[in-house]
Amino acid sequence: MADKQQTLKTSVSFEGIGLHTGKPAKITFHPAPANYGYKFIRTDLEKPFEIPALVDYVVDLSRGTTLGIGDVKVHTVEHVLASLVGLEIDNCRIELNGPEPPIGDGSSLQYVEVLQSAGTETQDEERCYLVIDENIRYFNEQKEVEIVALPLDDYRITVMVDYHNPALGSQHSGLFDLKKEFVKEFAPARTFCFLTEVESLIKQGLIQGGKLDNAIVIIDRDMKQDELANLQTQLKLDVTPQLGTNGILNNTELRYKNEPARHKLLDMLGDLALAGTRIKGQILAARPGHASNVEFAKLIRALYLKKQPIKNFKGDKSKGVVLDIYDLLRIMPHRYPFLLVDKVIEYDAQGQSIVGVKNVTMNEPFFIGHFPEKPIMPGVLIMEALAQTGCLLLLNSIDDFSDKLVLFMGIKNAKFRKPVIPGDQMIMEVKMLGKKFNTYMFTAKAIVLGTVVAECEFQAALVNRDM
């Protein structure tokens, strides 16, 4: 039986307070088409703004994983993503009316319950997996963090935590069967921190929505009564917290003996979702955190993209060419003297980045007038070449590109750092930043012999040819 993708049967919502921003938030999960993946949409802005849940868009890791494009951010996404992965939901449109999802009780339990109430629907497309067929290792000697992925025809995660702190000690936990174990054994595991960290986090402007019912606070030092009273004021608690006797502030009872280790595994499950693929492999992690999880997710994603064929284009991939000139003539609407891409040598199967090549020769028609005695490629044509390379990203993102055009909409932060002259080979790297409706944002740079000669950000729109 084929392993098919799943989405939700219906839309469902959950409301609450963001842990770090302290702002009221409503999150709504919607069904999404096959191969959509996970995308966050900020609906509180003038125009809804979409941020793909991919490691490329991680912008901050201060006590949580934050995605962003420009000034638009979505904080603390790991519990949401862990819930979707744990319930084996492949495609979901996630709308937020604020910058951060509600924290609930500090676990993924509330997300799981609301998603289960929606039910799932099987889709026609098969699931995509990265099958780990070689060992992948991340190591941070300074923080004593090590994460390894080993070949296995399943998905398992084992986590060990040791903060060299007697208040917590060493703990470990392992998830060996997502379908059987996630909901009961890991979704309810709550976030935690040490008592000595609380005041520092408040000073950093974090945990503004933090309460003692949405986090486990581990006692790692004595506190006088006036300090506890001050903590009550800072956290806006109804009563003064107490040190208690079980090593946790207010004598909060753990749901599992190793609840902190289980929560670390929950975080890792969510962070690794940012690789943009399901994984078949065994993950072993010692002292992981969001920063290390994201670095490891980058390694996973890079390997996944390396193994993926591109969707619409069937170019000859021998000798490092993904699309040759014959493919470009079939795909691109441009012709002499305005086709400014000669070949494509790299392509991200998820449609997020592309690398094109422009061979600049003395036979280019613009050198006749720019300039006769000192030929230099016009800067506007370098920008056009970058835009044409970006055009290929959009055309491959749709099923039928034959009746579509990509139009240049705007450009900013353009910089020309070095002249491009006959004999140069321009390597053009273009990355998609995001989209609003049918308008897409890109960042791009042109490189000659390892040196950036020009860079910019630009916008383009995908329109019908008969507009």
pLDDT tens digit sequence for 327-360: 888 888 889 999 999 999 888 766 788 999 999 9
Bridge partners for 54 per DSSP: none
Structural domain count of the chain: 3
Residues 197 and 287 in one domain: no
What confidence score (pLDDT) does residue 263 get? 95
pLDDT band with cut points at 50, 70 and 90 for residue 209: low
- Is residue 9 over pLDDT 80? yes
335 with 426, same domain: the answer is yes
Which residues form the domain of 197?
192-254
* Average pLDDT score over the chain: 88
Q: Return d(Cα 38, Cα 442) in angstroms, integer.
A: 20
Mean local confidence (pLDDT), 70-95: 96
Whether 453 is covered by a domain: the verdict is: yes
Q: Is 224 domain-assigned?
A: yes
pLDDT single digits (tens) 54-67: 999 999 997 789 99
- Are 173 and 198 in a shared domain? no
- More confident of the two residues 12 and 391: 12
- CATH code where residue 48 lies: 3.30.230.20
Q: Which residue has the tokens 């929560």?
A: 263
Judge whether 174 lies within some domain: yes
Residue 313 lies in a domain: no
Could you tell me the CATH number of the domain that includes residue 430?
Answer: 3.10.129.10
Residues 303 and 327 in one domain: no
Residues 25 and 124 in one domain: yes
Q: Which two tokens stand for residue 212?
A: 């003692």
Residue 419 reports pLDDT greater than 70: yes
Do 440 and 337 lie in a common domain?
yes
Q: What is the dihedral of CA 377, 381, 385, 388, to 10 degrees?
A: -160
pLDDT value of residue 225: 81
Q: 129-131 and 278-286: which strand pairing?
A: parallel
Residues 374 and 349 in one domain: yes
More reliable by pLDDT, 128 or 237: 128
pLDDT per position as a tens digit, 311-329:
555 444 444 577 888 888 8
The answer to whether residues 330 and 384 belong to one domain is yes
Strand, coil or helix: what is 357? strand
Q: Largest Cα–Cα distance in the chain?
A: 85
State how far the Cα of 443 lies from the Cα of 456, in Å rounded to an integer: 6
d(CA 266, CA 192): 12
CA-to-CA distance for 170 and 333, rounded, in angstroms?
61
pLDDT score recorded for residue 383: 96
Q: Are residues 235 and 267 in the same domain?
A: no
Q: Give me the sign of the Cα torsion angle 447, 450, 453, 458.
A: positive
Residues 200 and 128 in one domain: no
Q: What is the 3-state secondary structure (H, E, C) of 239-263?
A: CCCCCCCCCEHHHCCCCCCCHHHHH
Instruction: Say whether pLDDT at 79 is over 80.
Output: yes
- Does the pLDDT of residue 387 top 70, yes or no? yes
In a domain, 154, yes or no: yes
Of 18-22, 42-46, 382-386, the least confident: 18-22
pLDDT band at 204 (very low <50, low <70, confident <90, very high): confident
Residues 266, 234 share a domain: no
Best CA proximity match to 140, nearest among 293, 271, 298: 293
265 shares its domain with 227 = no
Looking at the domain assignment, is residue 150 inside a domain? Answer: yes
Position 231 scores a pLDDT of: 77
Q: Is the pLDDT of residue 53 over 50?
A: yes
pLDDT at 400: 63
Q: Are 178 and 265 spatial neighbours (Cβ–Cβ below 8 Å)? A: no
The arithmetic mean of pLDDT across residues 294-314, rounded, is 76
Cβ(247)–Cβ(218) below 8 Å? yes
d(C-alpha 216, C-alpha 191), whole Å: 6
The DSSP bridge pattern shows strands 24-31 and 136-140 to be unpaired
Contact 278, 127 (CB under 8 A): yes
Active site residues: 290, 370
Using alpha carbons, list the distances in angstroms from residue 353 to 76, 289, 396, 449. Answer: 25, 27, 11, 20
Question: Is 312 a member of any domain?
Answer: no
